[in-house]
Amino acid sequence: MPENPVTYLPLLESGQWFSHLPQPLRAALLAEARLLQLEAGQSLFRRGDPPCGLYAVLEGMMRVGAVSREGKEALLTLVEPPYWFGEISLFDGQPRTHDAYAEGPTRLLQVPQAALLALLAREPGYWRDFALLMSQKLRLAFIALEEMSLLPAAQRLARRLLMMAEGYGETGPRRVLHLAQEQLALMLGLSRQTTNQILKDLEARGALRLTYGEIEISDLAVLRQAAGAI
């Protein structure tokens, strides 16, 4: 298993955010980075934990959400390679807002908080680059809130699948989504029964194919039509 963060440079450069950073900033992040390995179910941080830096997923998947005292889970997102996350606490220095733990064996790149703040103290112009990372997440959150209020369940589900298939604008398009129906239901605030019914309808229309733990996009045009995107 490679131990040098530079080994993952091609993967990181496949993401829009990192690939558009100034070359000196990319080099500085990799110079300060360290590799972490998490096992399935292992926590990276929990709500209320102090800031611990910025992360990129290199292998596997991170589950970000929260669990109520009654045990009800709110799943915000599943973070896959080569996404970066954890930037909110970089800006405000406040505790973590959600829990993050490994969905399966997961490999991460971590740039510690102290190293980031020292870098930004030397080069304050780089704050804008991190602001762009946060603004992308904020834009997606606003879209999700609007859709939750205005759209029926079937259209919301189709739109979420479409955004994931298009890599949330961060990566290129992909045909296979590593996503269980239960996870999709949690992200949309729907029952598993409703989620399954909508997915079966989309499968019957030829938009996708359901397999264990995955959703394969068969016809992007049909999915766009179901999402109301065309």
* Whole-Å CA distances, 132 to 16, 25, 92, 170, 214: 11, 14, 15, 12, 30
Identify the segments of the chain with pLDDT beneath 70: 1-2, 229-230
pTM (predicted TM-score) = 0.88
pLDDT of residue 1: 45
CATH 1.10.443.10 is the classification of domain 151-227: no
pLDDT of residue 46: 95
- Give the pLDDT confidence of 70-102 residue by residue, as tens digits: 878 889 999 999 999 999 999 999 999 999 999
The residue among 103, 76, 21 whose CA lies nearest residue 189 is 76
Residues of the chain with CATH 2.60.120.10: 5-140
Residues of the chain with CATH 1.10.10.10: 151-227
pLDDT of residue 167: 81
Radius of gyration of the chain (CA): 18
Q: What is the fold, at CATH topology level, of the domain defined by 5-140?
A: Jelly Rolls (2.60.120)
